[in-house]
Chain A
Amino acid sequence: MKINQITKKNIKGDKIISVYWFAILFIVAGAVIYMVFLFYGKPYDFRKIESDILTTKISRCISEAGYIKDEIFEEGFKENFTGVCNLNFQVEDVYGWREQGQYFVEVEFLDFGSKQVLFSASEGNDNLKEFCDKKSKNLPICLDRNYYSLDKNGKKYQISILSIVRKTEKNA
Chain B
Amino acid sequence: MRDKFVFNLIGNRKAQMGETITWIVATIIILVVLFLSVFATNFYLNNRKDAGYLKSADTLASKSFFSYLLTHRENDTLIYEQLKSEGDFNEFNGNLAQSVFNDLYSKDYQEIWLGFSDPNLNIIGETRNARQNEYFGHKPKTYAVGPGGSSAIRNSVSILADINKNSSIELFFVGRVR
Q: Is A134 an interface residue when CB atoms closer than 8 A count as contact?
A: no
Chain B: which residue is nearest A40 at the CB level?
B49
A60, A66, A143: which contacts B70 (Cβ < 8 A)? Answer: A66
Q: Is B67 an interface residue when CB atoms closer than 8 A count as contact?
A: yes
A27, A148, A149, A172: which contacts B48 (Cβ < 8 A)? Answer: A172
Given contacts A31-B34, A31-B37, A31-B38, contact A55 B49 (CB under 8 A): no
In which size bucket is the chain A interface? 35 or more
Provide the bound-state CA to CA distance between A148 and B98, in Å.
Answer: 12
Q: Is A59 an interface residue when CB atoms closer than 8 A count as contact?
A: yes
Q: In the complex, which residues 3-37 of chain B have their Cβ closer than 8 Å to any Cβ of chain A?
A: 5-6, 9, 12-13, 16, 23, 27, 30-31, 34, 37
A-B contact count (CB 8 A): 95
Q: Encode B46-64 as 1/0 by CB contact (under 8 A) with A.
A: 0011111100000111011
Provide the bound-state CA to CA distance between A6 and B6, in Å.
Answer: 10
> What residues of B have a CB within 8 angstroms of the CB of A55 in the complex?
60
> What residues of B have a CB within 8 angstroms of the CB of A154 in the complex?
71-72
Measured CB to CB, the residues of B under 8 A from A are: 5-6, 9, 12-13, 16, 23, 27, 30-31, 34, 37-38, 41-42, 45, 48-53, 59-61, 63-64, 66-72, 100, 104, 108, 178
Measured CB to CB, the residues of A under 8 A from B are: 2-3, 6, 13, 17, 20, 24, 27-28, 31, 34-35, 38-39, 42-46, 48-49, 55-56, 59-60, 63, 65-67, 137, 143, 145-150, 154, 156, 158, 161, 172
13 example contacts (A-B, Cβ-Cβ < 8 A) are as follows: A2-B6, A17-B23, A20-B27, A27-B30, A27-B34, A38-B45, A44-B51, A45-B48, A48-B52, A49-B51, A145-B108, A148-B64, A148-B100
Q: Which 10 A-B pairs have the closest CB atoms?
A: A148-B64, A147-B60, A44-B51, A66-B66, A66-B70, A31-B34, A66-B67, A147-B64, A146-B104, A56-B59
